[in-house]
Amino acid sequence: MIRILANDGMEKVAIDALVEKGYEVLKDHLEGDDLLKEIKNIDCLVVRSATKVRKDLIDMAASTGKLKLVIRGGVGIDNIDAAYALENGIQVNNTPNASSISVAEMTFGHMLAISRKIHLSNVTMREGKWEKKKYQGTELYGKTLGLIGFGRIAREVAKRAEAFGMKVIYYDICTTNDHGKSVCTTKEDVLSKADFISLHIPYKKGEPYVIREKEFEIMKDGVYIINCARGGVIDEKALIKAIDNGKIAGAALDVFEKEPPTNELIINNPKISLTPHIGAATVEAQGRIGEEIINIVDEFFNKKN
């Protein structure tokens, strides 16, 4: 029987479906030595962002050769040493289609929050304050949205931006095809022309920040920046500096360099809207992730058999 370890949890419907198909699914979250010991007996490891699949875990799995598949329930695989896994005969898959709409909607939620100061007025209202004149915002209509990266999620964001009457420009190293009204341009052009900038790019360990001090300097004064992609693509120290000097009017972060974040200059900054990495945390997205995992497992092990 194929043994699957859902180490960071999985929707019950998906677990039940896998069990019904004849797979054994282990649901306990294991860490440290417990995970290293159990991985030798697992055929398929399913993780979210909590479990790190690094060299030591891969080496232990490779000692028996039983582990053949690692699935990341989500888009990014930066918590998995994918190249090293492949070198050791372990396939790595993600579920790229499942959470695109959820993250796109989160991006728009943050855009609205920082442009209309919803994140602030919600808090002060609960403190008994009625600061109606303090929270004058700005409309999205007629503004230019710049997207850095133009994969599935960014394209969903672009569709919604057009419905809001925004002009969409984007930069992507891989995209050359036409995508509706969105205009492909250079990274520098996006940074210099956009009123709102949203990041939709992966984090690559060991590489420099995508948005650093020099990128902030290119941007318009009073720009808004949103990151619902990955922590580590924005230099948080440079972000604070850009907010303090007025370059950035507001920022929205669902992801951070360190999670949970400990930088109080980020946590307590009134110009930053914060959420705890919940871009894909919707009922619908989790259901779709479960469906994709089932399909990946079935396709992989049916081929093996």
In this structure, are residues 168 and 145 in contact, taking their beta carbons and an 8 Å threshold?
yes
Long-range contact pairs involving 274-277 (C-beta distance under 8 Å, separation at least 24): 274/119, 275/106, 275/110, 277/49
Helix and strand element counts for the chain (H, E): 12, 12
**Phi, psi (rounded to 5 degrees) for 55:** -55, -40
- Catalytic annotation, residues: 230, 259, 277
Residue 49, exposed/middle/buried by CB under 10 A (0-12, 13-18, 19+)? middle
d(C-alpha 253, C-alpha 64), whole Å: 41
Sequence-ordered list of residues with C-beta below 8 angstroms from that of 129, at least 6 positions apart, any chain: none
